[in-house]
Structure 1
Amino acid sequence: MKSVAEICSDLIRFDTTNPGSGERPAAEYVATLLADAGLDPVVFESAPKRTTVVARIDGDSPDALLIHGHLDVVPADPAEWRMHPFSGEIVDDCVYGRGAVDMKGSCAMTLATVLDLAARGVRPKRDLVLAFLADEEATGDFGSRHAVTEHRELFDGVTEAISESGGFSVASGEHRVYPIAVGERGTAWMRLTARGVAGHGSRPAVDNPVATMAHALSRVAAHQWPVRLTPSVAALIGNLSEITGQRIDVDRLDEEAVRLGPLGSLFKGQIRNSANPTMLDAGYKVNVVPSTAGAHVDGRYLPGLRDEFLETIDALLGPKITREFVNLEDAPAAPYPSAFFDELAGSLMAEDPLARPVPYVMAGGTDAKSFARIGIKGYGFAPLMLRPDLDYFGMFHGKDERVPVEGLEFGTRVLARLIA
């Protein structure tokens, strides 16, 4: 049977860049591994080569747990990498390549765990549903959204789910902090349009939409969003204060995030809403004032703060800018404290005596948003024990993405405890 590192390397070698040629080869590889282990995977496509795999394993309880991951990755420029991003090479006891962290390493841990349990004849304590999805790195239209709308029956009985962006270690003195995500910020990707009066670039402008858009984006970029402490983030800060033995001043959280270093990264992007201009589109000739100007803004808002966020955006943009959503997703939140959170924490502490699990809210978003639409409570839990010198957050979509072999092996042991 292949090791977790070998499975991770194999998955990385499939170039599943999104946008690109699709996830089909990686999905076929996953389906073959599952079928060889005696499972009956369901393979379906939302569009040519946009392929998803789902499998169910019967357990002692029909109250099912979903473990989901995505097979697509963001682009990678080989010229910027120490080694080719789709080589899957193992160097210095790390698996290198695009997707090692986000999130083919996690998919490999899931596969290695269930394949080992199947080989040993170990029955899960509850039904398991495994989903290896397309298109997470875009909107999920070809992946999780398609799955929950067109193949809803595959997720019958699922109450909780685990996936990426949680369960990894952050070193802190004599402890290792393991953030377990209990929510994530909502997504509001917006296309903006300013309309004005076209004219000659040498004449005084009557109503220049480029200038209108520039002023609006400047207001958005310069806005200081107020701190809004949600209960889960407040609980995280309280836990970090206890673990470090240091008071964290909630009135100076930006400064405290810097002072705490890696631990501060767990909350610095989760204490407020945000909006970043990311794309511009205006004009076609230097001496022509165009009649329209466009832009895109990546907006994120905390659980429960969608209305406040949109009201603020509209005030900043002003009456001459219209907006439409490219993607609008609510901010899901899972129960905390909860018995299931305690199960996740317990599986970590059983494998690492220095583990200190804490609640966490993701700054970005995952496929958990789609599964929340059908009532599944999502937790970020892809367990990894990481070396203190690895910048975990920096490797998401960064160059020289890599994951330690020992970290992957740790993750499979944790998952086995949780499942069995």
Structure 2
Amino acid sequence: MADLADPVGLCADLIRFDTTNRGGGDSEGEREAAEYVAEFLGRHGVPAKIVESAPRRANVIARIPGADPALPALLVQGHLDVVPADAADWSVPPFSGEVRDGFLWGRGAVDMKDFCAMVLSAVASGLRPRRDLVLAFVADEEDKGDFGAHWLVERHPELFEGCVAAISESGGYSYHVPAADGRTVRLYPVGTAERGTAHLKLTARGRAGHGSRPNDENAVTMLADALHRIAGHRWPVRLTPTVRAFLDRTGAALGVPVDLSSGAAVDATVTRLGPAGSLVVPTVRNSTTPTMLSAGYKVNVIPSTATAQVDVRVLPDAEDELFEVFDSLLGPGVTREFVAHQPPVQAPVDSPWFDAMAAALRGEDPDAVVVPYCLGGGTDAKAFSKLGMACYGFAPLSLPEGFPYRAMAHGVDERVPVEGLRFGTRVLKRFLESC
């Protein structure tokens, strides 16, 4: 076990707990990882409790008193579960926590046992925050959060009393992008918003019949037509405060002209931003992506029903408009229902929290260009925002130029640079002590 404040050893320890979450309540190892975290915090003077939502579905909660009890509290939250990893595809065993070539390898190295280790490292190094910090290491983020963040928010909101803001994964990492004058700019996107998630089940209801006979009420055809309309619909550009600020500030840093006067102008601006533009491509529009189909049981029988599922991602303040248009695309005979629904979240871009994150990054990298960023997917922020918290993606890392960071989460050979992890810990401690 790692006894020192080095985040590398701590992260390696956490990786060695196989906390695979296969979804649908099928998981393992969360309890052992939670016990490790709680015991580590206790050894360093921070009492922690383990709260189980179901047998072995364990969440760790701790509170560190701040120097000024009058200040509102900050939640620092991460998840201990990981997605499955097939060892046959990996260069190293995915739960080995091996250090090789300057990287720490293993499932969860960037999603998100690295951040959990940085938090533990900051505590062990003598963290002295100004305000109360609530630490939450949760289960089940890689499925629906029903045994983790969402369960805690619904059943135990008192654990987060006084928290007005939160930080967690998906932001604060370095991203090297070329400027117009040939310089390389180190961009640090900090998450200030997330698109909402709506997983929809579509059901077409028609008239059953023999496959050899004409049938103008064929449920399969009705569903296929609806999916064709949905997949072919070009959603218009919609600029949220986060995306607008990203485009303006990134363009200024790179010396690239920014024109946001129309949808076509926004698309052209994103293209001019080059690699930096790829960060914002999924979040200038809503998206509706058909992903699953099911119909029939025999080739010569026209079924009476056909179903599909559609992955819908919606920008902040755009749900009503999206669903009105979506429903118009369904056509007759096709209905929809929610399989899962988590509305979008949005935190203030211009806030003392964001300023403190930027200052902490610049304290370790004076050339850091810190910009707000909207996540195309989602995190447990969707749960904690229900308690009125402003949720930010801030899990700082320094990454080598060209490192495929976004391919690491859920990918093969997931790994994090050792020195980048130590950089992130220093930034995190700066932030937690100054915010």
Deviation, 1:137, is 1.5
Deviation, 1:259, is 4.5
Amino acid at match of 2:226: A
- Of stretches 373-382 and 208-217 in structure 1, the one that deviates more from structure 2 is 208-217
Cα deviations by residue, 1:144-200 (Å, 9 ceiling, x for unpaired): 111111111110111111001110111133431111111111111111111122222
Aligned partner of 1:218 among 211, 216, 228? 228
Aligned partner of 2:130 among 97, 106, 125? 125
Aligned partner of 1:292 among 305, 328, 337? 305
SS of alignment partner, residue 348 of structure 2: coil
Are 2:281 and 1:268 equivalent residues in the alignment? Answer: yes
Aligned partner of 2:55 among 34, 48, 52? 48
- Of stretches 90-99 and 253-262 in structure 1, the one that deviates more from structure 2 is 253-262
Provide the residue aligned with 2:163 in structure 1. Answer: 158
Are 2:316 and 1:303 equivalent residues in the alignment? Answer: yes
Q: Which residues in structure 2 correspond to 1:14-413 (within 5 Å)?
A: 14-19=17-22, 20-22=26-28, 23-62=30-69, 63-117=72-126, 122-172=127-177, 173-250=183-260, 251-413=264-426
Cα deviations by residue, 1:389-419 (Å, 9 ceiling, x for unpaired): 2111122222221110111100110111112
Amino acid at match of 2:153: V
Paired with 1:200 and 1:393, the residues of 2 have a C-alpha distance of: 49
SS of alignment partner, residue 193 of structure 2: strand
Paired with 1:186 and 1:195, the residues of 2 have a C-alpha distance of: 28
Cα deviations by residue, 1:202-257 (Å, 9 ceiling, x for unpaired): 22235221121111111111111110111221111010111011113433444543
Paired with 2:363 and 2:280, the residues of 1 have a C-alpha distance of: 26
Paired with 1:368 and 1:377, the residues of 2 have a C-alpha distance of: 9
Is residue 251–residue 273 contact of structure 2 (8 Å, CA) maintained in 1?
A: no
Paired with 1:191 and 1:47, the residues of 2 have a C-alpha distance of: 28
Paired with 2:329 and 2:306, the residues of 1 have a C-alpha distance of: 17
Paired with 2:13 and 2:325, the residues of 1 have a C-alpha distance of: 46
Is residue 199–residue 309 contact of structure 2 (8 Å, CA) maintained in 1?
A: yes
Amino acid at match of 2:102: D
Is residue 253–residue 268 contact of structure 1 (8 Å, CA) maintained in 2?
A: no
SS of alignment partner, residue 387 of structure 2: coil
Name the % identity: 55
- Of stretches 405-414 and 47-56 in structure 1, the one that deviates more from structure 2 is 47-56
Q: TM-score, normalised by structure 2?
A: 0.92
Paired with 1:191 and 1:46, the residues of 2 have a C-alpha distance of: 28
Paired with 1:395 and 1:252, the residues of 2 have a C-alpha distance of: 32
SS of alignment partner, residue 359 of structure 1: strand
User: Structure 2: 5+ residue runs without aligned partners?
Assistant: 178-182
Amino acid at match of 2:36: Y
Amino acid at match of 1:101: V
SS of alignment partner, residue 191 of structure 1: strand
Paired with 1:261 and 1:237, the residues of 2 have a C-alpha distance of: 12
Paired with 2:212 and 2:392, the residues of 1 have a C-alpha distance of: 57
Is residue 170–residue 262 contact of structure 1 (8 Å, CA) maintained in 2?
A: no
Provide the residue aligned with 2:180 in structure 1. Answer: none
Amino acid at match of 1:177: L
Paired with 1:207 and 1:243, the residues of 2 have a C-alpha distance of: 57
RMSD between aligned residues: 1.5
Paired with 1:280 and 1:26, the residues of 2 have a C-alpha distance of: 37
Deviation, 1:47, is 1.7
Deviation, 1:61, is 2.5
Paired with 1:262 and 1:106, the residues of 2 have a C-alpha distance of: 25
Is residue 174–residue 354 contact of structure 1 (8 Å, CA) maintained in 2?
A: no
Paired with 2:109 and 2:319, the residues of 1 have a C-alpha distance of: 33
Paired with 1:338 and 1:381, the residues of 2 have a C-alpha distance of: 14
SS of alignment partner, residue 239 of structure 1: helix
Deviation, 1:21, is 2.4
Cα deviations by residue, 1:325-366 (Å, 9 ceiling, x for unpaired): 111112111112011110110000001011010111111111
SS of alignment partner, residue 360 of structure 1: strand
SS of alignment partner, residue 217 of structure 1: helix
- Of stretches 81-90 and 50-59 in structure 1, the one that deviates more from structure 2 is 81-90
Is residue 31–residue 58 contact of structure 2 (8 Å, CA) maintained in 1?
A: yes
Deviation, 1:82, is 2.0
Amino acid at match of 2:123: V
